[in-house]
Amino acid sequence: MSKLVPPHGGKGLVCCLLEGKALEEEKAKAAGLKKIEISSRARGDLIMMGIGGFSPLNGFMNKADWKSVCEKMLLSDGTFWPVPVTLDVSAEDAKDIKGKEVALVRDGELMATMKVEDVYEMTEADKKWECELVFKGQGPDSEKFWDIAEKDHPGVKMVMAQKQFNIGGPVKVLSQGDFPEKFKGVYKTPKELREEMDKRGWKKVAALQLRNPMHRSHEYLAKLGVETCDGVVIHSLVGALKPGDIPAEVRVKCIDTLVEKYFVKENVIQAGYPLDMRYAGPREALLHATFRQNYGINNQLVGRDHAGVGDFYGMFEAQEIFDKIPQPEDPGKRLLCEPMKIDWTFYCKKCDGMASMRTCPHSKEDRVILSGTKLRKMLSEKAEVPDHFGREEVLVILREYYEGLTEKVEIKMQRAASGSTM
The residues annotated with a catalytic role in the active site are: 211-212
CA angle 134, 138, 140 (to 5 degrees): 120
Burial class (CB in 10 A: 0-12, 13-18, 19+), 352: exposed
325's enclosing H/E stretch is none
Beta strand segments in 65-213, E: 87-89, 101-106, 109-115, 118-121, 165-173, 205-210
The C-alpha atoms of residue 226 and residue 267 are separated, in whole angstroms, by 7
Residue 82's φ and ψ, nearest 5 degrees, are -95, -20
Burial class (CB in 10 A: 0-12, 13-18, 19+), 108: exposed
The C-alpha atoms of residue 110 and residue 229 are separated, in whole angstroms, by 41
Close Cβ partners of 24 (under 8 Å, ≥ 6 residues apart): none
299's enclosing H/E stretch is strand 299-302
In single-letter form, the type of residue at position 278 comes to R
The C-alpha atoms of residue 176 and residue 51 are separated, in whole angstroms, by 8
Cα 312 from chain centroid? 17
The C-alpha atoms of residue 45 and residue 385 are separated, in whole angstroms, by 36
CA angle 293, 294, 300 (to 5 degrees): 25
Residue 62: C-alpha distances to residues 68, 103, 121, 182 (Å) = 10, 18, 11, 33
